[in-house]
Chains A and B, each alone.
Chain A
Amino acid sequence: MDFFSAQFLFFVQTLLFASVIFMHLSKKSASVIFLYQVQSLIVACLLLGSALAESAIFPLFVAVVVCAVKVVIAPHFFRRLTRELQLKFSASTYLSGPLTLIILAALTAFTYSHFFAPLSTLNASNARALLLAAAMMLAALFLIVNRKGALSQMIGILSLENAIVAFAFLSGLEQSPALELGVLFDILMWIIIATVFASMVYRQFGSLDVTAMNSLKEE
């Protein structure tokens, strides 16, 4: 189907990848949350389009649930958290902006190297998009590692999950809808629990900056 042509999928994957890159560059919590929302919306639209193309009810339901959990519920939780804790700016990064960009470029180049090339055999027609999805995974991992803010780390983990979903979609490794619902349930629970923990971290340390957490070092 034309809707899912290789060129279109590569364009969509580029948008997903760009969302993680902009997360790295963004300093405001609201922007990071918005970027996650956009990223999740794109993933949900992909699943929705696939379900509509197949005229399958259960996958359609799963796509709607994905949309509800990732595009509506998760950003709502995060926004409420930033409102309650008055977090206008997300915490800083370990590496400077230019260095962060250099590492992102290196990670992307690495996924397009000879080493990762065989991954593209999973679906040769989407080879470029697949490798970009792998690059998105590495970029999301780097976001978790490089950010000092708990909120950014949480969004990094959820972006990593989005990257895996995108990779699975592009390579045709999607699970049965029942299993996808199970995974989604875990993700929803994770979002709730992580948000509660972020509040606890703020209460205990007066900040969501993870470098402020040093009570274990004293033991």
Chain B
Amino acid sequence: MLLIILLCVPFAASVLSWLVKKRTLVLESLAAGASTIELAAALSLAGSVAKSGPYSLTDSFSVDPLGAVVILILAIIGVVAAWYSAGYLRAEVEKSIIGFHRVRQYFVLLHLFIFAMFFAVATTSPTLMWIAIEATTLSTAFLISFYNNASATEAAWKYLLVNSVGLLLGFFGTLLFLSPAESAGLTDWNSLFAAAAGFDPFIAKIAFVFVFIGYGTKVGWVPMHTWRPDAYSKAPIPVVALFSGSLLSVAFLAVLRFKLIADASLGGDFSANMLIGFGLSSIVVAAFSMLGQKNYKRLLAYSSIKHAGIIALGFGFGGAAAGAALLHLIYHALAKSALFLSAGNIFLKYSSTKVENVRGVLSALPVTGVLFLAGFVAIIGLPPFGLFFTELSILAAGIQYHPAVSVIVLLALALGFIGFLRHAVAMMFGEREKRIAPGEAGVWTIVPIIILLAILAAASWYLPVSFRSLLESAVLAY
């Protein structure tokens, strides 16, 4: 029942949103209602999985502990993004940037995007998962080109092209993985895992490389990351929060599922080395890119690439680092979504995404400014937030077996910190232009960020026993 709710509610909300003819309030209520129901279902599902193990609807739909964690991330970011969307789009309608039809298009596609992500996580079929992840590309392309200007169209075209090529390569890898586990019906993860020992090692290697490149494009690892800064800088902010928090987690889940199959066939070293290699390159390239960044949305995009690298590194190191990496995935989703939503408030006030045009945020937007700073402290990995502990745990695990990698990562993190700090200080402090009147856009653009940061702060220090056991079960195989 819970999975039916999770799959049907966003789809139904999308169809119903499409049928709405006039009132924006109905669209907002639909989004808020649907996302709240999804969150309730996700919480119950996670509780059930923590208590009784995998939750199955049919042979084709089942949620294991790792899937439950990702569904929980999707639902939390989903509800916050939906609530925030109401306030954000209202402000844009007031400024005459968009009209009702655009708002309706936004909500129809937003629900479809969320539906596709839930579907990708819940299915047991690698092919269905591929179809669902491709559907996320198709449903979000028009969200990136939402503002219908030249740069948004360019970003959306790049996104569509790069992700389509990446996912086709991922599809080829998936087909290669399915070769020894042929069956008349659907091939699920379990049968694939059972057949993994009989894989031709060379085919398994080729298959994993293609899958890694395919879904890695969606994760945004360097060098497949090129679409990310462009898409993040052009899409509406709540969608970017979903990209950074949720889509990244879903794509990561796909890579991790195939990692298990590859490991059963090849041993752990091959996939671990790939994760470490791509993780390291992502961290280093992102750190340098952050240093010279002029656009704060792109700055946050590069920060996401860096954190995708850190998570890859954690799963590459394995053992305790894998547990820390999963926690990092959760904390990053919360912190980065909060930062993007705060950046959305800044954009609403200053109508610019250029760092040089944004000065004195703390005086213009006192609440948003404080929230942005809190998100900034969290994302760069300073205590008391959990990202500090997870980064420390990953590096501590890495220093034993991969000291050179760990040292390079440490230096890159320091570089990223300097880059981020420089821009954050410039934006938060400094003298506000006289044309910028102080005052927040509204309660709907503030409360969701506070909720995210409150969950992050609480989860940094205390995890309920049931959730802890869920996390332990989720990373047991890694």
Contact = CB atoms under 8 A, between A and B. Distances in A.
Interface of A: 118-119, 121-122, 137, 141, 144, 150, 153, 157, 160-161, 164, 167-168, 171-173, 175-176, 179, 182-183, 185-186, 189-190, 193-194, 197, 200-201, 204-205, 210, 213, 215-216, 219
Given A121-B200, A121-B203, A216-B230, A160 B154 contact: no
Interface residues of B, number: 46
A216 B228 CA distance: 12
Which 4 pairs across A and B sit closest by C-beta, in order of nearness?
A118-B202, A215-B151, A215-B150, A204-B150
Given A157-B164, A179-B186, A122 B203 contact: yes
A197 B233 contact: no
Nearest to A205: B150
Contacts of A144: 161, 165
Contact of A197 (B135, B157, B182): B157
B153 interface: yes
A74 to B, nearest CB: 14
B138 A219 contact: no
Given A182-B131, A210-B157, A216-B230, 18 more contacts: A118-B203, A141-B165, A144-B161, A161-B168, A164-B175, A172-B182, A173-B176, A175-B175, A179-B186, A194-B164, A197-B156, A200-B148, A204-B150, A204-B153, A213-B154, A213-B157, A216-B154, A219-B294
Given A164-B168, A193-B141, A194-B160, A176 B154 contact: no
24 contacts: A118-B206, A121-B200, A122-B203, A160-B165, A164-B171, A173-B176, A173-B182, A175-B127, A179-B186, A182-B127, A182-B128, A186-B131, A193-B160, A200-B148, A200-B156, A201-B153, A201-B154, A204-B150, A204-B154, A205-B154, A215-B151, A216-B230, A219-B233, A219-B298
A161 B165 CA distance: 9
A216 B155 contact: yes
A175 B138 CA distance: 22
B127 A122 contact: no
Given A179-B127, A205-B150, A219-B151, A200 B145 contact: yes
Interface in B308-364: 353-354
B295 interface: yes
A162 B160 CA distance: 18
A210 B158 CA distance: 10
Chain B interface, DSSP helix/strand/loop, else mixed: helix
Nearest to B135: A186
Given A160-B165, A190-B138, A219 B295 contact: yes
B80 interface: no
B97 interface: no
Contacts of B230: 216
A200 B164 contact: no
A216 B151 contact: yes
Interface string B131-175: 100110010011001001111011111001100110010011001
Contacts of A157: 161, 164-165, 168
Contacts of A193: 138, 141-142, 160
Nearest to A161: B168
A179 B128 contact: yes
A151 B230 CA distance: 21
Contacts of A160: 165, 168
Contact of A179 (B125, B149, B151, B179): B125
B443 interface: no
A219 B168 contact: no
A175 to B, nearest CB: 6
Contacts of B150: 204-205, 213, 215
Nearest to B178: A173
Contacts of A219: 151, 233, 294-295, 298, 353-354
A197 B165 contact: no
Contacts of B168: 157, 160-161, 164
B202 A164 contact: no
B186 A190 contact: no
A201 B156 CA distance: 10
B464 interface: no
